[in-house]
A and B are shown apart, each in its own frame.
Chain A
Amino acid sequence: MTNHSCDKYTSEEISRFIDSELSLEKYQALEKHLLHCTDCNAIVQNYMAMSTTFSNHTEQQISQIDTQQIKTHLHKAMQKPKTSSSHLYLKLASFAIVIMISLFTFQDTIFSSPGPSAIVKSVDTDFASVMIIETQKKRHTIIWFTET
């Protein structure tokens, strides 16, 4: 890696130049300067190559979305019944009953310590790569190691 050695223009100005965000006067002066300054030219080429490559890469990565899937989502979202206040009380009441029953039946799972399904106290291995992951929904713990 080489540092920009031309002291006439900073690389920040060159960055603005390639985005056409310099004043017209400055833009034209830098344009002229580029005709003979290989150092500034190299930066322009690098910055432009990065933009073009990223843009092309993004273009290649996209595919078409499944419109039918969106419609299904929409359909479901639109069909959700609105809760009336009497329903709300009914829901609260049944929720309370469920909690009461759960308290007796699943005391282990409900009141067992919150947090991940497993707390990893230690991992001992020769492998370079060990990851501890937790799923979002149920906070299920996963230890992932890669044999080298």
Chain B
Amino acid sequence: MANTKKSNTEIIDEQELVQRLKKGQQWAFDRLVSQYQNRLLKIAYGITLDHEDSLEVVQDVFVSVFKNIHTFRQDSSLATWLRKITINHCLNWKRKWKRRFKWHHASIESENDKNLIKESQKGSNPEMLYREKQYEANLMEAIKKLPQKLRVVFLLNTVEGLPYDQIAQTLDIKMGTVSSRLYSARKKLSTALKLTQ
């Protein structure tokens, strides 16, 4: 009985977490969410490039994981499985047009510019901060325009910090393809940012 009332801070191994999830224990679910939500949110944001969409995707992922945990055979780690599900959910997110619209909408309001100005007024070296923010804004604009295939590989490399073999395994592609997609992504971004490539 004492076993079921674990505190959320206690360290348990992945296998036990999966077993408890399979038994439908609420505690295990809370644990799963608190442990993995940040990682999955970053992945989802990196693909959808939209704050609200990423929240929705990850919520869906957790619901689907809890419903389908019995299908998880533990051939790979839980993190890998969750990552794959999140990427698939993002890629199937059939609201590309909606996102495009929101981007457009944001540019109409030019909120980014307003934020930039506000931020630059706050910092001690406004010029520097402005340049950094401008670089970030330009980079994100360029990332939005990257083909999705390239963006996913770039995301897994930068945000998840995965080596090529793990990216290849996650996306079911060859390691050579990972390398060329990453290079291609960097080259396209450099072109967009007018940098040495």
Are A69 and B101 interface neighbours, CB within 8 A? no
Are A65 and B41 interface neighbours, CB within 8 A? yes
Are A65 and B183 interface neighbours, CB within 8 A? no
Interface residues of B in 65-92 (CB under 8 A from A): 66-67
Are A77 and B189 interface neighbours, CB within 8 A? no
Are B54 and A62 interface neighbours, CB within 8 A? yes
Are B139 and A67 interface neighbours, CB within 8 A? no
Query: Measured between alpha carbons, how far is A4 from B159 in the docked complex, in Å?
Result: 26
- A63 close to chain B: CB less than 8 A: yes
Q: A61-B45, A74-B66 are in contact. Are A19 and B182 (CB under 8 A)?
A: yes
- B58 close to chain A: CB less than 8 A: yes
Are A42 and B196 interface neighbours, CB within 8 A? yes
- A59 close to chain B: CB less than 8 A: yes
Contact with B along A26-65 (1 / 0, CB 8 A): 0000000000000100110011011111110111011111
Give how many A residues have a beta carbon under 8 Å from the other chain's beta carbons. 46
New A-B pairs, 6, CB < 8 Å, besides A1-B191, A20-B163, A21-B164 = A3-B196, A11-B183, A46-B196, A54-B143, A54-B158, A63-B41
Interface residues of B, Cβ cutoff 8 Å to A: 29-30, 33, 37-38, 41-42, 45-46, 51, 54-55, 58-59, 62-63, 66-67, 94-95, 97-98, 101, 104, 108, 135-136, 139-140, 143, 154-155, 157-159, 163-164, 179-180, 182-183, 186-187, 189-191, 193-197
B180 to A, closest residue via Cβ: A12
13 contacts between A and B (CB under 8 A): A1-B190, A21-B163, A46-B195, A54-B46, A57-B136, A57-B139, A57-B140, A58-B159, A62-B38, A62-B42, A62-B54, A65-B33, A136-B98
The prevalent SS among residues of A at the interface is helix
Are A1 and B194 interface neighbours, CB within 8 A? yes
Q: How far is the CB of B113 from chain A (nearest CB, A)?
A: 16
Q: How far is the CB of A24 from chain B (nearest CB, A)?
A: 15
B94 to A, closest residue via Cβ: A136
Are B187 and A70 interface neighbours, CB within 8 A? no
Are A16 and B179 interface neighbours, CB within 8 A? yes
Are B108 and A129 interface neighbours, CB within 8 A? yes
Are B159 and A70 interface neighbours, CB within 8 A? no
- Cβ–Cβ < 8 Å partners of B158 in chain A: 50-52, 54-55
**In the complex, which of the residues B59, B135, B157, B159 contacts A69, with contact meaning CB atoms closer than 8 Å?**
B59
Are A53 and B55 interface neighbours, CB within 8 A? no
Contact with B along A56-93 (1 / 0, CB 8 A): 01110111111101110110010000000000000000
Q: How far is the CB of A34 from chain B (nearest CB, A)?
A: 14
Query: Measured between alpha carbons, how far is A144 from B107 in the docked complex, in Å?
Result: 14
Are A133 and B55 interface neighbours, CB within 8 A? no
Are A4 and B197 interface neighbours, CB within 8 A? yes
- A15 close to chain B: CB less than 8 A: yes
Query: Measured between alpha carbons, how far is A10 from B160 in the docked complex, in Å?
Result: 25
- Cβ–Cβ < 8 Å partners of A51 in chain B: 157-158
